[in-house]
Amino acid sequence: MVKDARNAVTRPHDEGRTIPGVKRRGERLVGLLIAGFVLLNFPLLSIFNVPRLLLGIPVLYVYLLSVWVLLIGVMVLVHRERPATPSAEHPEARDQDHA
């Protein structure tokens, strides 16, 4: 079983088996959503809404594109699958990897 139950979600139809990391992933995505709202809302957008150019592009456009790419990159990192490591509890998983 999972050692840290705070990071796992139990499916009712799986008789108590857990999915490790699902709860933490959801919490990170909620945090990312809140960060996106803050970064793409009035107070910060007004800071970058100036009549200046950065490499020939308006500063506001550079900011919006940068935040958009940053949010997508962090989302990819949150959803990236971690490599499964065979544990001592499941020796059959270790045997299947070498077959």
pLDDT at residue 7, rounded to an integer = 55
Residue by residue, DSSP assigns the chain as --S-GGGEEE-GGGTT-EEETHHHHHHHHHHHHHHHHHHTSHHHHHHH--S-EETTEEHHHHHHHHHHHHHHHHHHHHHPPPPP---TT-HHHHHHHH-
**Domain edges within the chain:** 21-81
pLDDT at residue 35, rounded to an integer = 95
pLDDT at residue 86, rounded to an integer = 56
Chunked into runs of 10 residues, the chain (99 residues) has average pLDDT values of 55 59 85 95 93 94 96 93 60 54
